[in-house]
Amino acid sequence: MNRNITTDLIQWKNKDNRKPLILDGARQVGKTWVLKEFGRTEFQDTVYINCDQNEKIREIFSGSFDIPSIISKLEIYSRQKIEKKSTLIIFDEIQEIPPVLTSLKYFCEDGREYYVAAAGSLLGLSLHAGTGFPVGKVDLFHLYPMSFSEFVLAVRGENLCKYLLNEPFENLASFHTEFKELLRQYYFTGGMPEAVLAFSENRSVEEIRTIQKAILYSYEKDISKHADPKDIQRIHLVWNSIPHQLAKENRRFIYGAIKHGARSKDFETAIQWLVEAGLVHKISRIKKACLPLKFYEDFDSFKLFILDCGLLGAIVETLPENILIGDNIFEEYKGAFTEQFVLEQLLNLKNTSCWYFSADDSKQELDFLLQNGSRIIPVEVKAEENLRAKSMRQFSLDNGIHGIRFSMSQYREQDWMTNVPLYAVERVLELNK
């Protein structure tokens, strides 16, 4: 399965000022596979080292950080020659041995001629953020679950994927039915690589749901293993409340929905833990559409989303047939699933930050507000064909900014807004230029 981040990895390889690379992300989003495949296709040799429960590697990095000595020991350990120009060194689960993480600083300063890439879970790396993390000495890449276009590529092949990403918007209507079908499939499967692979191979909904449940179980175990014992119950409460929060009309996170009388000070740490683990996305409110949007962020008002729409479906135990068969998915699940889907695609955009907008008088609210460089892009999400957009229209008129609406209607331009089909969310930056 090809991943879009491979392009970034190739650019990293070819940089003159290249630093050691850390590829982070939530557990099971495909970090190890991506780096191994990168090594296989772009290098003559790959030295792969898994740091999880590896006492020999712990011993190697227990002494000094002399790079020639480390390279020599790694060659003996791996029984492979490490060539500066043709070998990729991969440290997997790097957070498990903090000295290996620290060594990246010395690879940057004294061994930059070596190609060094590390994979680490967000959870583990955040735990070591203040204990030897090589700040400023590494190139950081983040891997999300597979986007919709990556899913299309895996399931239907290169031609349809290229058509989706490159064809003029108005031409996408030719395959509208096919893309709607794929979108239903993506809502169910999500973007976790193991689930996508299972779907591409055998279409077994039972196997996919089993995979999703296993991933969720591993996340639950991570909470119990890594969180401060005094926070574990609160983290579980927040995690379990998110589907209910997303089912509300405005999706804004309400502490009282966790349990009666809940207050922000009681759950701030729990929310931050889930964010740092990469299990949830926190999207804050913007009060005013002026650059830079960060200046107008309201930290007290926010939405929380699960990292993957397929996992959201597994959590709430949606019946596969309710998603995969017919068009009613876009009506019955118009709130949570559609907004969840759109956010996932937006997060994959480069150099783009994401918030939502709500006026102080609550008369205007937009699902998302993006900043890409000097551009502000207002976004409204509609799952069904009923396309009333009073808030978007008023926002566009008040601020002189052309809006974008994602819906299941086909592409069309209006004087104040452009409607784009949901399956083309990834191309939002091509609009309003």
Q: With contact defined as beta carbons under 8 Å apart, do 192 and 145 qualify?
A: yes
What does the block give as tokens for 56? Answer: 């020999």
Does residue 298 come out as left (phi exceeding 0), alpha (psi in the -120 to 50 range) or beta?
A: beta
Which residues of the chain have a pLDDT value below 70? 124, 126-132, 321-322, 324-334, 362, 384-389
Strand, helix or coil for residue 381: strand
How far is 265 from 268, CA to CA, in rounded Å?
6
Chain mean pLDDT for the chain: 91
Question: Mutual orientation of helices 148-156 and 193-202 as an angle, nearest 10°?
Answer: 30
- The pLDDT score that the predictor gives to residue 133 is 81
Backbone angles phi and psi of 154, in degrees to 5:
-70, -35
DSSP state of 410: P
* Cα–Cα distance measured from residue 344 to residue 281, given in angstroms and rounded to the nearest whole number: 9
Residue 70 exposure: Cα atoms within 13 Å on the Cβ side: 22
Which helix or strand (DSSP H or E) is residue 216 part of? helix 205-226
**CA neighbor of 169 nearest in space, from 426, 341, 424, 378:** 424
Computed over its alpha carbons, how large is the radius of gyration of the chain?
Answer: 23
Write the Ramachandran bin of 141: left for phi over 0, alpha for psi from -120 to 50, otherwise beta: beta
Q: How far apart, in Å, are the Cα atoms of 205 and each of 29, 98, 344, 413?
A: 19, 40, 22, 38
Distance (Å, rounded) from C-alpha 378 to C-alpha 276? Answer: 27
Of 173, 234, 134, 49, nearest to 423 (Cα)?
Answer: 173
Q: In the CATH scheme, what is the code of domain 5-142? A: 3.40.50.300
The pTM of this model reads 0.94
Residues 6+ apart with CB under 8 A from 299: 284
The residue extents of the domains of the chain are 5-142, 148-430
Q: What pLDDT, on a 0 to 100 scale, did the predictor assign at position 330?
A: 46
Per-residue model confidence (pLDDT) at position 332: 47
Angle at 96 between CA 93 and CA 97, to 5 degrees: 115
Contact 156, 423 (CB under 8 A): no
3-class DSSP assignment, residue 78: helix
